[in-house]
Every structure is written in structure tokens, then in C-alpha cells.
């Protein structure tokens, strides 16, 4: 069957936000408990309901004889009830059993905690069943199969059925009925955000057709046609909003150009020449891009990506110095106090010959010192500042902020980034924004998370760096791993031992940082000094441990992922990651980047007893991939985009249908389309494009309200 996919939108009333925002409680049978269940899924309105797309589909048209059923596969079959259903109870558990037959065989069926189904299953009546079949020799069984009455007159008309993500207490049948109830009410009222030329050029069906048929497709082809249209639309609208944000920032905001006079230029070149290392070609290229941006009238909005150890901090330091030498202020915000303190120390060393002092402001800064820094900041005496989220508090006021840098951007939400950029109080001047990330981001994800930013990549490591050797190990190898730790300690080198938890959990067999520290200190290495570091420690205690580790007094540092970003100790050459299967690939690569920062051989051990094949594949990938961008692409493939960094953390709506890994080609198609669209109509003012902006206002009002789109 060939699906008909019209590209014309049916005529109908002008779409109104009120219709889209109708609460689900205005639908028949949706109130109280059912409304609460929908709320749990984030479904509040009629449009939320029809936008709750199927995660997959079931084919109820292909009926297999029982004798042909395949082990482990979900299938549909026709059978009659051949044995009176019986219910057995044990405590709160009930088990319903029966036997189903067709002309060629029999299959045992069992349902758990659904005793009421016994009244629905009539002896010798034929039903359609669907479930995952288990086969043992010549015997078949199926657990909790779905079933429906069989009507020979309707045979073959059941079609392709949607299967939705659910929450406990909500069934597929009930959710399907709710969606079927609301679709006719919105028919003809759905705005068509895609201009006719876009639909025509990209062979996309009309919006009414797509929303209607995705929930009741007549064929697999029709389901695919509708899914492609709706995934395109989702990416198109999100990217359109980011295009508008980017344009607004460039056109409506005036920045503070940091243009150097000859004396300041000479000072900057002198500091760059005095660095204890030579900038790589990639660093020089990115630094040139940033220098040009800083000298411009329009505020810079740039993301600098670089693998761990690629040298992003020195580029940030030179950018901050350029502003300070022009009499302007620059600030760098890090996600943790440990990283902020390290940046403060690094910048102070790198810029020592410039005559510009660097200040540090974190939650642990003493009150008197804090007051003085805030006063000096407001009066313009402090030009270079490093800190944590404390920098976006209301009472922090700058005098002439020209550059705001956030390090490890995936740790910050978009609201925090924007707030830092607006941290000048009543000052109407928008600062330059520089975002740094050592967590390589696949291009497809970067287009979504940072679609409003220009992107620079430092894709070259400093000379002399050796690749980090990475191996897997299990509990049977623990003795050999501890021998390696001791050998490194005897050679004067240091080790990280990273654990996924702080304390033991009665319901988990994961080894915690505290128990690991106690075991290593008391049993394995009583003669060595160990340190313990985790996020629940007070800042002063963390600083004390890190100072001792950086000084070489602590040989083995047992830590949680608090050391994930930025910590730089060139003498740390060995890392053991406990329960490595609990971490994502990108996170383990980030952790691994804490070693290998000197010229010595470095080794990372991934300790895991997991038998899960996907987890084992992740660990093998890390053993063979040294490049962070390769690791990130594999992580996106294995884990999917849902929680790669968490789009919600960025202030962006979660994608309901598009998949950033599987739909990579579609995303690039959308990008090409939007480049053409915005080149012709940058503000979306033409009549054929006005519905794009209106749809953005209706669907994504919360997302873009903070930036005035």
C-alpha cells in the first residue's frame, strides 16, 4: 500500500493559542487520577497530548500460526482459549494461567497481577494475542500478552498500532483513546509552521495529516512519512528559535570593543611570548578568532571546544588580558570551587608579567575579603575575576564588564549563562560571551545546545603529550592493579581512585569512596598517605586535600567525580575508575583527562565486573579511542541523546520525536534549509514565514521568553 501524503494544509480557522492550551481535563473521561497520570508525563494541554508521539509501532495485521512463533520475538497470533482461566494467589501476587490453541499448536499464557482478565477470556472464543514468545523445545509460552476480540469481518483492518511511553497506572488503550478524542477537536486548527516551499523542496506532508496519521497509520510507510515530517518540524522550530536568538544578540546589543593601543598590544605580545610553552597551531587559530571578536562592536558569542589538555585556559587568559589592558573587566566562571581556585592560580602565573592582578570569588571567600572584592569590582579596580556560581548573585555588580567566560558550559544552564552576561546591573552594554568546554560535543548535539553560538575547535594537543593507555580489569585483577599503584608511588608518581558514590547504600553493591579509602588506607597501603575528596566536604577541607595532593604529599587520592573537570596535576599518572560501567563514555574520558598532563607514561584502569554487553562495549570503546570527539560520538550512539548532557539543563525543551543520533542527516537538512530561509528573511517578516514565529510563541514561549523572542 502506498501512503498518500498531502502537502496542502486543509483550510480551517486561524490557529489560536487558547485552543492549544486547553487543559486535558476538558476532554471526556480525563479528570482526577487520569489527569494526575498525564501530569506525571508532562502532558497538560491538548497539544501536549497529540505531541506525545509513539515510541514504536505494533503490526497486528500479520498473524503467525503458533507453531511458527519465534523465540524471544514479539509477535501477533490468533488463538482460542482452550483451558478455563485459573487464578492463583500468594500474598499480594496473583497469577492467571490458561492455554491457547490454534489448528497447529498450543501455547501457555500467564498474566501477573491481572486477575480481572479471567472474566474477559471466554472458553473456546477466538482472540488476537500479542506478546514476546518464549520457546523451549516444542513448547511455547507467553507472559502478559495483550489481546483483543477477533472479528473475522475486521480481519486485516487492525493496522499498525502506536505504542506510547507510559507511566504506572496508565494503559496503552486509555492513552490511545484520549489522543483519538482530541485529534478531531484540533483538526483544521493546527498551524502549518513550514512554508510551502520548504514542504515541497523537502517532500514533507502537511501538518494536519502528520499529527493525525502518526497516531493511526495505515501502513509502515505512512508512519515513516509522518515521523519524518514531525521530526523535521521539531528540529526546524528549535533551530529557528536559536537563529532568532543569535540574530537578536548580534543586531540589538552593543558590546564593548577591546581594541588595543600600541602599548597594550606590546604588553599582550610580551606576555604571550613569555609563556612556558609554545602555542599550538590550533590555539593560535582560535586565539586569532577571539581577538577579532573582542575588537568588534557586536558582542562575541563563541563556544571553544577542545579535548582535555588541549590548552583552552591559556587562550581564555589571553582574552581576559586583552580586555584588562583596554581598561575593561573580564570574568571567568567555573562550575566548582576546586576548578575556580585552580583557574585563579593558573591565570595569576600566566599573567604575572602583565601588571594585572587576578581576584577570586567563591562561596568560601571570607566575608571581609568578599566585601572588598565586590566594592573593587563595582568601582573598576578589579579587572580580572575568577569565581563560581557566586558570580551571578544579585549583589555582584561590575563597572565595565567586557568579557564573560564560562568553563565547562554543560554544567551551567542557559539562564545562568545569560544572567552572567547581564551581570552589569543597569549597564545596557552586553559583554562578549566565551563558552569553554573540555567535553567534546558531537556536532549534531552542538547544533542544538549551542545553535546560538559560533564554534571554534582546538583540535591539537601540546607537543610531548603521550597517549593515555587504557585497560579494563575486574575484581580478580585487583591484586595486580594495587601492585601497579604501589610501583607508581615508589617512582614518585601519584594515583587517582574514582568511585561513583560517596557512601555505601544498602541496596547497592557499588563500592563507595569512603569504604574504598578505608580499605586502601588500612589494608593495602597503610604505609602511604592517602587523601579522600568528595562533594559533601566543606570547601576548606577540599582545599586542604587538593593542596596536599598538588604538593605531592598525598600519593593516592580517592575521589568521587568532583575531580572530573579541570584538575591539573602533571605528576598524577595513574587512574583507577571503580564500577566503571556506572559512568558514561564522555564522563570517563573527562575523568581520564586528569592524568597524562605531563610527559610521563600514564595508565587508566576501568574496573568493572559487569556482564551487560552494552556497558562492556562502552568500556572497550574507551580503551581504543583516545580522541574525545570519537568518544563523544560513540557515547551519543550508545546512550542516545536523551541524557547526553541533559537538554533541560540548558533550558531547552526535550526533543519528543527527533533523535540526534539517528536523525543526523535530517538535522543537517534542516540546517541547510534554515540557512537559505534566514538569508532571504532574517527577521521572519514575510507573510509566508510569519507562522514560524507565531508557532514558536505558542509552543516554545517558555523557552524563548527569557530572551525576548
pLDDT of 392 > 50? The answer is: yes
pLDDT at position 443:
67
- Confidence band for 643, pLDDT divided at 50, 70 and 90: very low
Domain endpoint, select from 426, 458, 490: 458
Residue 81's CB is within 10 A of a number of other CB atoms, namely 19
Task: Note whether 291 and 436 are same-domain residues.
Answer: yes
Contact 144, 96 (CB under 8 A): no
The answer to whether residues 273 and 390 belong to one domain is: yes
Instruction: Taking residues 649-674, report their average pLDDT.
Output: 80
For 300, 302, 400, 431, the CA distances from 250, given in Å and listed in that order, are 8, 12, 19, 12
* Residue that wins the pLDDT comparison between 308 and 426: 308
Residue 304 dihedral angles phi and psi, to the nearest 5°: -110, 115
Per-residue CA distances from 500 to 245, 585, 606 (Å): 38, 14, 12
Domain stop point among 434, 458, 482: 458
State the Cα–Cα distance between residues 670 and 233, nearest whole angstrom.
9
Give the pLDDT band of residue 707 (cuts 50, 70, 90). Answer: very low
Pick from 265, 275, 643, 590: which is nearest to 408 by CA?
Answer: 590
Note the pLDDT of residue 19.
73
Is-contact 275 320, C-beta < 8 A? no
Average pLDDT over the chain, rounded to an integer? 85
Is the pLDDT score of 71 beyond 80?
Answer: yes
The pLDDT of 205-229, averaged and rounded, is 95
Q: How far apart are CA 229 and CA 214, in angstroms?
A: 10
Residue 402: pLDDT band by 50, 70, 90 thresholds?
A: very high
Q: What is the pLDDT of residues 143-189, one digit of tens each?
A: 999 898 887 766 655 678 899 998 888 888 899 999 999 999 998 88
607 and 685 co-located in one domain: no
Is 611 inside any structural domain? yes
Same domain, 313 and 419: yes
Mean pLDDT of 24-35: 90
pLDDT of residue 441: 72
* CATH value at residue 335: 3.40.50.300
Between CA 309 and CA 566 the distance in angstroms is 9
**CA distances to 30, 36, 182, 403, 694 from 26, in Å:** 7, 14, 10, 50, 24
* Model pLDDT, residue 640: 58
In a domain, 692, yes or no: yes
Let me know: does 127 contact 149? Beta carbons within 8 Å: yes
Regarding whether 610 and 674 lie in a shared domain, the answer is: no
Query: The dihedral of CA 156, 158, 162, 168: what is its sign?
Result: negative
From 273-277, 487-491, 503-507, the region with the lowest mean pLDDT: 503-507
pLDDT at 504 over 80: no
Q: Which of 571, 574, 524 is nearest to 549 (CA)?
A: 571
Q: Grid coordinates in use for 488?
A: 607508581
Tell which wins on pLDDT, 562 or 641. 562
Of 82, 86, 87, the closest CA to residue 100 belongs to 82
Are 69 and 77 spatial neighbours (Cβ–Cβ below 8 Å)?
yes
Taking a C-beta distance cutoff of 8 angstroms, is the pair 600, 493 a contact?
A: yes
pLDDT at residue 422 in the model: 57
pLDDT, position 695: 87
Mean pLDDT of 518-535: 94
Mean pLDDT of 475-488: 95
Instruction: State the Cα–Cα distance between residues 222 and 231, nearest whole angstrom.
Output: 14
Do 416 and 545 fall within a single domain?
A: no
Q: From 581, 576, 577, select the one nearest 616 (Cα to Cα).
A: 581
- Which residue is associated with the grid cell 605531592? 552
Grid cell 575588537 is found at 295
Assess contact for 198 and 192: CB atoms under 8 A.
no
* pLDDT for res 111: 95
pLDDT: is 442 or 317 the higher one?
Answer: 317
User: What are the DSSP calls for 168-200, one per residue?
Assistant: TT--HHHHHHHHHHHHHHHTTTS---S-HHHHH
Structure confidence at residue 238 (pLDDT) = 87
Question: Over 90: is that where the pLDDT of 256 sits?
Answer: no
pLDDT at 563: 78
Q: Which among 58-62, 183-187, 435-439, 486-490 has the top mean pLDDT? A: 486-490
Find out whether 698 and 15 touch, Cβ atoms under 8 Å.
Answer: yes
Tell me which of 97-111, 540-554, 631-645 is least confident: 631-645
Tell me phi and psi for residue 143, to 5 degrees: -110, 135
Alpha helices in 295-435 (DSSP H): 312-325, 337-350, 367-379, 414-421
Asked if residue 243 belongs to a domain, the reply is: yes
CA distance 409 to 515: 32
pLDDT at 506 over 50: no
**Polymer length of the chain:** 709
Let me know whether 277 and 314 are in one domain: yes
pLDDT score of 86 more than 90: yes
CA gap 709, 691 in Å, rounded: 14
311: left (phi over 0), alpha (psi -120 to 50) or beta: left
Tell me the CA distances in angstroms from 369 to 46, 214, 345, 366, 544, one per residue in order.
Answer: 54, 61, 17, 5, 20
Residue 561 domain flag:
yes
260-285 pLDDT, tens per residue? Answer: 999 999 999 999 999 888 899 999 99
Instruction: Report yes or no on 306 lying in a domain.
Output: yes
Q: Are residues 585 and 682 in the same domain?
A: no
What is the C-alpha separation between 529 and 552, in angstroms, rounded?
10
Q: CA torsion, points 16, 18, 24, 27, in degrees to nearest 10?
A: -80
- 481 and 618 share one domain: yes
Percent residues over pLDDT 70 in the chain: 86
3-state secondary structure at position 598: coil
pLDDT of 546-582, one tens digit each? 989 999 999 999 999 887 665 778 899 999 999 999 8
- List the beta bridge partners of residue 109: 98, 142
| One domain for residues 289 and 346 | yes
309 falls in which pLDDT band (50, 70, 90)? Answer: confident
End-of-domain residue from the set 458, 489, 512: 458
In a domain, 166, yes or no: no
Whole-angstrom distance, CA of residue 448 vs CA of residue 659:
11
Distance, C-alpha 485 to centroid of its chain = 34
Is 406 inside a domain boundary?
Answer: yes
Question: What number is the average pLDDT over the span 133-141?
Answer: 88
**pLDDT over threshold 80, residue 420:** no
Q: How confident is the model at residue 507, as a pLDDT?
A: 44
**Per-residue confidence at 613, pLDDT binned at 50, 70, 90?**
confident
Distance CA 493, CA 572 (A): 6
DSSP classification of residue 264: H
C-alpha count within 13 angstroms, C-beta hemisphere, residue 688: 10
The runs of H, that is alpha helices, within 295-394 are 312-325, 337-350, 367-379
The answer to the question of residue 615 being in a domain is: yes
pLDDT, greater one: 247 or 147? 147
Residues 436, 478 within the same domain: no
The pLDDT of residue 542 is above 70: yes
Structural domains of the chain, count:
4
Residues 294 and 423 in one domain: yes
Q: Which domain holds residue 328?
A: 262-458
Which pLDDT belongs to residue 246?
75
Amino acid at each position: 500500500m502506498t501512503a498518500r501524503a498531502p502537502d496542502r494544509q486543509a483550510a480551517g480557522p486561524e490557529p489560536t493559542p487558547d485552543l492549544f492550551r486547553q487543559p486535558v481535563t476538558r476532554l471526556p473521561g480525563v479528570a482526577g487520577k487520569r489527569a494526575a497520570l498525564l501530569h506525571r508525563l508532562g502532558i497538560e494541554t491538548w497539544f501536549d497530548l497529540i505531541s506525545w508521539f509513539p515510541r514504536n509501532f505494533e503490526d497486528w495485521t500479520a498473524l503467525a500460526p503458533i507453531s511458527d512463533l519465534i523465540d524471544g520475538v514479539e509477535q501477533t497470533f490468533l488463538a482460542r482459549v482452550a483451558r478455563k482461566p485459573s487464578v492463583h494467589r500468594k500474598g499480594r501476587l496473583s497469577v492467571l494461567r490458561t492455554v491457547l490453541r490454534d489448528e497447529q499448536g498450543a501455547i501457555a499464557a500467564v498474566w501477573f497481577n491481572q486477575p480481572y482478565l479471567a472474566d474477559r477470556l471466554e472458553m473456546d472464543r477466538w482472540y488476537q494475542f500479542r506478546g514476546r514468545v518464549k520457546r523451549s523445545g516444542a513448547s511455547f509460552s507467553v507472559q502478559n500478552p495483550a489481546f483483543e476480540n477477533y472479528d473475522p469481518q475486521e480481519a486485516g483492518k487492525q493496522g499498525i498500532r502506536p505504542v506510547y511511553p507510559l507511566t504506572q497506572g496508565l494503559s496503552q488503550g486509555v492513552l490511545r483513546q484520549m489522543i483519538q478524542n482530541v485529534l478531531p477537536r484540533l483538526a483544521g486548527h493546527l498551524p502549518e509552521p513550514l512554508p510551502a516551499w520548504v514542504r515541497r523542496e523537502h517532500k514533507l506532508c502537511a501538518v494536519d495529516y502528520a499529527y493525525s496519521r502518526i497516531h493511526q497509520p495505515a501502513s509502515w510507510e505512512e508512519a515513516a512519512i509522518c515521523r519524518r515530517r514531525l521530526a523535521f518540524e521539531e528540529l526546524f522550530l528549535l533551530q529557528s528559535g536559536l537563529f532568532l536568538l543569535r540574530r537578536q544578540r548580534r543586531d540589538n546589543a552593543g558590546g564593548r570593543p577591546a581594541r588595543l593601543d600600541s602599548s597594550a598590544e606590546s604588553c599582550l605580545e610580551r606576555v604571550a611570548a613569555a609563556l612556558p610553552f609554545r602555542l599550538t597551531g590550533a590555539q593560535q587559530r582560535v586565539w586569532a578568532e577571539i581577538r577579532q571578536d573582542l575588537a568588534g562592536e557586536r558582542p562575541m558569542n563563541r563556544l571553544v571546544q577542545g579535548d582535555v589538555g588541549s590548552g583552552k585556559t591559556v587562550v581564555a587568559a589571553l582574552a581576559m588580558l586583552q580586555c584588562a589592558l583596554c581598561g575593561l573587566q573580564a570574568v571567568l566562571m567555573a562550575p566548582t570551587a576546586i576548578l575556580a581556585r585552580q583557574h585563579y592560580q593558573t591565570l595569576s602565573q600566566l599573567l604575572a608579567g602583565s601588571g594585572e592582578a587576578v581576584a577570586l570569588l567563591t562561596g568560601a571567600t571570607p566575608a571581609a575579603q568578599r566585601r572588598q572584592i565586590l566594592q573593587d569590582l563595582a568601582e573598576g579596580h578589579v579587572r580580572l575575576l575568577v569565581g563560581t556560581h557566586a558570580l551571578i548573585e544579585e549583589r555582584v555588580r561590575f563597572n565595565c564588564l567586557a568579557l564573560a567566560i564560562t568553563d565547562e558550559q554543560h554544567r551551567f544552564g542557559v539562564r545562568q549563562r545569560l544572567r552572567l552576561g547581564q551581570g552589569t546591573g543597569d549597564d545596557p552594554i552586553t559583554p562578549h560571551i566565551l563558552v569553554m568546554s573540555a567535553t567534546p560535543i558531537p556536532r549534531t548535539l552542538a547544533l542544538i545546545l549551542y545553535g546560538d553560538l559560533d564554534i571554534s575547535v582546538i583540535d591539537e594537543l601540546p607537543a610531548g603529550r603521550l597517549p593515555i593507555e587504557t585497560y579494563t580489569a575486574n575484581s580478580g585483577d585487583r591484586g595486580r592493579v594495587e601492585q601497579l599503584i604501589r610501583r607508581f608511588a615508589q617512582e614518585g608518581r601519584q594515583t587517582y581512585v574514582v568511585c561513583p558514590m560517596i557512601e555505601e547504600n544498602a541496596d547497592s553493591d557499588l563500592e563507595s569512596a569512603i569504604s574504598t579509602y578505608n580499605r586502601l588506607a588500612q589494608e593495602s597501603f597503610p604505609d602511604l598517605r592517602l587523601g579522600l575528596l568528595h562533594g559533601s566536604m566543606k570547601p576548606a577541607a577540599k582545599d586542604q586535600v587538593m593542596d596536599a595532593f598538588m604538593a605531592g604529599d598525598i600519593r593516592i587520592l580517592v575521589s568521587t567525580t568532583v575531580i572530573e573537570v579541570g584538575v591539573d596535576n602533571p605528576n598524577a599518572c595513574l587512574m583507577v575508575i571503580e564500577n566503571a560501567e556506572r559512568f558514561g563514555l564522555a564522563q570517563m574520558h573527562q575523568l581520564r583527562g586528569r592524568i597524562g598532563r605531563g610527559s610521563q607514561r600514564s595508565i587508566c584502569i576501568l574496573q568493572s565486573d559487569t556482564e551487560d554487553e552494552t556497558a562492556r562495549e562502552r568500556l572497550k570503546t574507551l580503551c581504543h579511542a583516545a580522541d574525545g570527539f570519537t568518544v563523544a560520538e560513540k557515547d551519543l550512539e550508545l546512550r542516545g541523546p536523551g541524557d547526553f548532557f541533559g537538554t533541560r539543563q540548558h533550558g531547552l525543551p526535550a526533543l519528543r520525536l527527533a533523535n540526534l543520533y539517528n536523525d543526523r542527516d535530517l538535522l543537517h537538512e534542516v540546517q541547510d534549509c534554515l540557512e537559505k530561509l534566514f538569508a532571504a528573511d532574517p527577521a521572519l517578516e514575510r507573510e509566508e514565514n510569519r507562522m514560524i514565529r507565531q508557532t514558536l510563541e505558542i509552543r516554545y514561549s517558555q523557552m524563548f521568553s527569557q530572551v525576548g523572542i
